[in-house]
Amino acid sequence: MLDVFPGSNAPRAVAVLLHPSIVPVIDVFRSLDLLEDQYDLALLDGPEQGLTAYTGQEAAKGIVSDALLLAFALTRQPGGPFAYRPVGSRHGSLDEFCLLTLIASSRNLGSDLAVEAASLLDVASLDVMGPLTGEILRHMDAGDLVFALPSLPEFRAMMGTRSSEEVLVEAAPGKAERNLRH
């Protein structure tokens, strides 16, 4: 679920509620952020175990391995550090949502959605990131992981790159679809 509340004088607030199956995927990246402070690969055990509930053991290991490569590649990009939520949180940051959108849009790296997500993450080359995000997506597709790719207007509304209006996006019960209401 996503809520955008532009009507107040306060800065625009956006809440991203991740599907429970996607939390372990983003937890890999959250754990890698913690890895900078304390270099202990055991931090990745929790997300890997969480992933096995939705994928097989091999796919879980593949996601963790490929996410490691992607995270290290992203740290070499010109942008600053990402905003991460705590490990295990279903509430995602805009950076996390943007990263998931980039991964999910890797089937069509030439799309406006992929290009805008990469741009917001300061990705210099989709040629380098494309194979990394594609491998993560391939492993995600092998399991029961639910992340519905937003449309370009949904993505822009969330990221605040176009007009600010109230947007509510909900996952349909039992389906990986979205309903958009204005």
More confident residue, 8 or 37: 37
| pLDDT category of residue 12 using cuts at 50, 70 and 90 | low
- CA dist 109 and 173 (Å) reads 29
Q: Among 162, 100, 182, which residue's Cα sits nearest to residue 133?
A: 100
- Model pTM? 0.78
Instruction: Report the half-sphere exposure of 81 (CA within 13 A, side-chain side).
Output: 9
What's the CA gap between 96 and 121, in Å, rounded?
10
* CA–CA dist 30, 44 (Å, integer): 9
Look at residue 29 in the predicted model and tell me its pLDDT: 87
Radius of gyration of the chain (CA): 16
More confident position, 178 or 24? 24
Q: What is the pLDDT of residues 95-113, one digit of tens each?
A: 999 999 999 999 999 999 9
Q: Which of 35-39, 135-139, 165-169 has the lowest mean pLDDT?
A: 165-169
Measure CA 108 to chain center.
Answer: 16
DSSP code for 38: S
Query: Does residue 18 carry a pLDDT above 50?
Result: yes
Cα–Cα distance measured from residue 166 to residue 56, given in angstroms and rounded to the nearest whole number: 39
Could you state, in order of their start, the residue ranges of all structural domains in the chain? 2-181
pLDDT digits (tens, 9 = 90+) for 146-155: 888 999 999 9
The more confidently predicted of residues 10 and 40 is: 40
